[in-house]
Amino acid sequence: MGFPNNFLWGASTSAFQVESAVNEDGKTDSIADVRSRKMSVASTDMASDEYHHLHEDIALMKELGLKAYRFSISWTRVLPNGDLSVINSKGLSYYQKMIKLLKDNQIEPIVTIYHFDYPMALIKKYKGWLDPNSINDYFNYAKFLIDQFHNQVKYWLTINEQEVQVFNPNMLGIYDNNASKLFEKAQTANLNMYLGQAKIIKYVRENYPNLKIGPAVSFPTYLPATMASEDAWAAKKQENIFAFSLMDIVIRGKIPKLYLNWLQKHNVHWNLTISDKKLLKQGKANYLGLNWYTTQRLTVVDHKVKEVKIKNAKYTEWGWAYDPVGLRFALNQIQERYSDIPVIITECGWSEREKLENGQVHDPDRINYLKDHLLQLNKALHDGVNVIGFCPWSFIDLLSSHEGMAKRYGLVYVNVNDRGKGDRKRIKKDSFDYYRKIIETNGQSLFESN
Ligand code: BG6
C-alpha cells in the first residue's frame, strides 16, 4: 500500500474554461470563444476569471498542497494572429508570471499547448486544420512556448483530446451539411494534427531530451453491455477507433491497419509521404496524459452501437457512470499495450450542480469519487502501471466544455452562475480539505478512512 514519494498530486484546468478576460490585453477569439457564444449557457468571458485572480488561485493551490498544476496556455493570448507575425507581450507575461509563481511555490507546471481553443484568425485565413499550413503554425506556436519555458516546465501536453475534436468537428471550426464530406474534412484535420504534433515531439526529443512530451487523450473504459460477442466486439472496436488509434500513432509512431481500413470504409484515404511516415516514427511521445472519467457499456441493436445505462448504478446528472474499477481496468490496458510508459492522469472528476449553504459547499459525492478512484489507482500502481501523477478535473469551478457554469467539477467553488452573474468569490468545498489531507499524507489518509 502507498504511493511513490515523488508522486505528482495535482489538479487541472484549461485556459478558455477558467481564465475569462477573453478580449483583454490583446487576446483574440478562439473557436472555443465563438462556439460558447452560440450556446444558451454561459460563454467563455463569463468563466472563473483566473486571469484577474491569479495570486489568489495560486495561494489556494499552495494551501491545498498541490505538487503540480495542469493548465493550458491560450494560443490567441500569446499569438493573436495564430502565427508568429505578432507576439503579444502582455499575454506572454501573464504566463511568465503564472509559471514563476507556481515554481516559487514548488508547484510543477504541466502545460497543455492546445486545449480546444484554436485561433479564429487561422480559421479565417485558411480554414485552420484543414490546410497543411496548420502543421507549421502549430509547430511554430508550440516551439515558441517550449523555447521560452523549457527551463521551468518539464511536462508538456501537445493536444488535448484530439479524437474528441475530430469526432465533433465544430470544435475545430469545421462544418458541412453533407455527413460524409464532414467526416472526410475532420479526418484531413486529424492527419494534419498528427503531423504537427509529431513535428514538435521530434523537436523536443532532439533539443530538450530531459523534457516529457505527449498527448492528453480521452480514454473512457468501454465494456460490452451483455455477454454477446457482438457487444464485446463493439466495445473493442470503439476503444480501437476512438482511443488506441490515437495512442498507437503518437506512442508507437505507426497508424494501425484497423484504423486505415475503417477510414477506407468511409472513403477516406490518407496519403502519407515517406517523410510523413518517418516523421511519425521520429515524433513519439515519451509520456501520456490520460483523461479518464467513466465507463461506457455498449450493445448492438439493429446493427447500431448504443450505450446502455445500468439500472440502479450511479450516474452524474449528465449521464456519466460512476465506475472506479473501470479506471484500474483502463490503466492496466495502457500498461499492457505500451509497457512502461509513464502516465499522468490529467483529468478525472465528478460533476454536480452545487450551491452555497451558509457560506459552505458540501460535496460528499465528489469526496467519494476521489476516494474510490484513488484507491483503484493505487491498486493499478501495484499491478505495475507506471502512474506518476494524478490531476483531478478540476482545481476550481470552471466553464464546462459545452454545458455552462452550472456543471461544476471544482475543489474550489466560484460564485458565478450560468448567466455570468456573481462576484467570483472563491470558497473551498469540503472536497478541498479531503484532498488536502490526501496530499499531506501522500495518500495514507485514503487507507485510514477505509
Ligand atoms: C474533457 C475536456 O473532455 O472533459 C475538458 O478535456 C472538459 O475540457 C472535461 O471540461 C469535462 O467535460 P464537460 O463537457 O463536462 O466539460
- pLDDT (tens digit per residue) in 237-249: 999 999 999 999 9
Compute the distance from residue 292 Cα to the ligand 1 centre, in Å: 10
Cell of 269: 484515404
Give the three-state DSSP class for 387: strand
Q: Whose CA is nearest to atom 15 of ligand 1?
A: 400
Predicted pLDDT at 311: 82
pLDDT in tens, 163-216: 999 999 999 999 999 999 999 999 999 999 999 999 999 999 999 999 999 999
Predicted pLDDT at 450: 52
Pocket of ligand 1, candidates 347, 366, 396, 398: which has the most ligand atoms within 8 Å of its Cβ, to mutate?
Answer: 347
CA atoms within 13 A on the CB side of 62: 12
- Residue 251 is given by DSSP the state I
Ligand 1 pocket, 403 CB below 6 A?
yes
Pocket of ligand 1, candidates 35, 36, 393: which has the most ligand atoms within 8 Å of its Cβ, to mutate?
Answer: 393
Under a CB-based contact definition with an 8 Å cutoff, are residues 215 and 289 in contact?
yes
Compute the distance from residue 164 Cα to the ligand 1 centre, in Å: 10
Report, as an integer, the average pLDDT of 380-409: 96
Q: Cα–Cα–Cα angle for 12, 284, 275, nearest 5°?
A: 135
DSSP-assigned beta bridge partners for residue 305: 300
- State the catalytic residues: 161, 347
CA dihedral 130, 131, 137, 139 (to 10 degrees): 70
Distance CA 346, CA 76 (A): 23
pLDDT band at 16 (very low <50, low <70, confident <90, very high): very high
Ligand 1 pocket, 291 CB below 6 A?
yes
Index of the ligand 1 atom closest to the CA of residue 399: 16
Index of the ligand 1 atom closest to the CA of residue 400: 16
Compute the distance from residue 209 Cα to the ligand 1 centre, in Å: 31
Q: Which helix (H) or strand (E) holds 329?
A: helix 324-338
- Helices 364-383 and 430-440 meet at what angle, rounded to 10? 30
Under a CB-based contact definition with an 8 Å cutoff, are residues 411 and 395 in contact?
yes
Backbone torsions φ then ψ of 223, nearest 5 degrees = -125, 150
